[in-house]
Chain A
Amino acid sequence: MSKNNDSFMVTIKDHKTVEHSAPRTLLETIELHQIEIQYHCREGFCGACRSKLIKGDVEYTTDPLAYIDDEEILPCCCIPTTNIEIELAK
């Protein structure tokens, strides 16, 4: 488990690099910086926020139920555990 005071850099392709700090989810960090991202359930079961993880690692805070491909993540229920680079769905 990551420590609570961990903060990592999140590079969002075609947008900017933002800082993520616990206990926010990755989705909340992205929203905090006014970057448009699609979401519905915010609990990992609908898949609306599905994004591509280009570099780095994340950890799930809730077991994701929505279908995600090998290189995809659900920002609504995960937190970075390293600096990461992601691409949001168009």
Chain B
Amino acid sequence: MKYTTFNQVNNNPLTEPMFFGNPVNVARYDQQKHQIFEKLIEKQISFFWRPEEVDVSKDRVDFQKLSDSEKHIFISNLKYQTLLDSIQGRSPNIAFLPIISIPELETWVETWSFFETIHSRSYTHILRNLFGDPSSIFNDIVENAEIKKRAADISQYYDDLIFATQLWQTLGEGTHLVNGVNHTISMRELKKKLYLCMNSVNALEAIRFYVSFACTFAFAERELMEGNSKIIRLIARDENLHLTSTQHILNLWAKGKDDPEMAEIAEECKEQATQIFLNAVEQEKQWAEFLFQHGSMIGLNKEILCQYVEFIANHRMSAIGLGQPFDVKSNPLPWMNNYLSSDNVQVAPQESEISSYLVGQIDSEVNADDFGDFDL
């Protein structure tokens, strides 16, 4: 079906599926098929923050005191986080918006992506503070083999869905010869690609971010790189919300509360979905190995970090009905929870080094002249 930016069919958005129904026409939020997305939009907007509000200047001094192995851990994680948010800042928009059919989900995806761009801007803010010219750090993201390996695995599901959607929207269902390669496009296959892509996004926000978060907060536990930690806490809070949204989408499908065909696909592709999570866990363990290759840091080593990945994976997988494949009973990094609690995120401006916040948005200056034409 050809995409249109304003579908002139007078359809009822309350009976559309989340994806692959009619394209959205009127952006209305007075009624919702799935109220949860409207609530998530409001929550996300209430979280609005700007990286410049956090003063990271003390981190520059701290950074000089880190050992070479610690510098490697810190910078490698920032590179990886930059990669993840580079992907997340654009991909949900490009992959999901052309096939979404209800206004509240469309706006949720736009709001979600916008916050990912704030995260990307934060990494520039952090790196610009640490290095006069952060170009070499950014350039390495597209050269570093360890990071590229992950980038390929994450973007593959998005790219697959985007390409199939493009063929479907221009040529429709059927077998199409493009540049000498035959592609068979059917609605069932498109929906499968969407299902796998949504699982991959869920795994990204559920597991992939957490190895880097753990390292950041381990520095903060030693009162090092605290500006960076403050920013990452704000990012982690947003990511938790994004994770909730993809859990809702996956569960709405699986429980047959949206498109009944998606419930069948969820059942049929359960094995593949599980494998997406297990691969993410494996890759994160390899990442932990890469991080600690020159030595550990106080409070954290490869073994504990790998156990934490398994622990968090158990929680995330059981939330979407994929069971608990790992044998970890208790949280190996209990202090992580303090940093992930939103109570500890909001701070009064006078308590933290907020260098800029908006005051005097309204011109409040009143002169005697202003009363010139005033009669009693």
Chain A residues packing against B (C-beta within 8 Å)? 36, 38-43, 45-48, 50, 63, 65-67, 69, 89-90
Is B337 within 8 A of A40, CB to CB? yes
| Contacting residue for A40 out of B36, B240, B329, CB 8 A | B240
Could you tell me the dominant secondary structure of chain A's interface residues? loop
Since A38-B331, A67-B247 are in contact, a sample of 10 more A-B pairs with Cβ atoms closer than 8 Å, ordered by chain A residue number, is: A38-B337, A40-B341, A42-B343, A43-B342, A43-B343, A46-B241, A65-B36, A66-B244, A89-B318, A90-B329
Chain B residues packing against A (C-beta within 8 Å)? 36, 39-40, 43, 237, 240-241, 243-244, 247-248, 251, 314-315, 318-319, 324, 329-331, 337, 340-343
Could you tell me the dominant secondary structure of chain B's interface residues? helix
Is B315 within 8 A of A48, CB to CB? yes
* Bound Cα distance from A89 to B331, whole angstroms: 12
B319 surroundings in chain A (CB, below 8 A): 47, 50, 67
Among A41, A50, A66, the most chain B Cβ lie within 10 Å of the Cβ of: A41
| Contacting residue for B243 out of A39, A46, A89, CB 8 A | A46
B243 surroundings in chain A (CB, below 8 A): 46
Is B248 within 8 A of A42, CB to CB? no
Known: A41-B340, A65-B43. A36 touches B331 (CB 8 A): yes
Is B40 within 8 A of A65, CB to CB? yes
| Contacting residue for B341 out of A41, A47, A67, A89, CB 8 A | A41
In the complex, how many angstroms separate the beta carbon of B249 from the nearest chain A beta carbon? Answer: 9
Is A39 within 8 A of B251, CB to CB? no
A38 surroundings in chain B (CB, below 8 A): 315, 331, 337
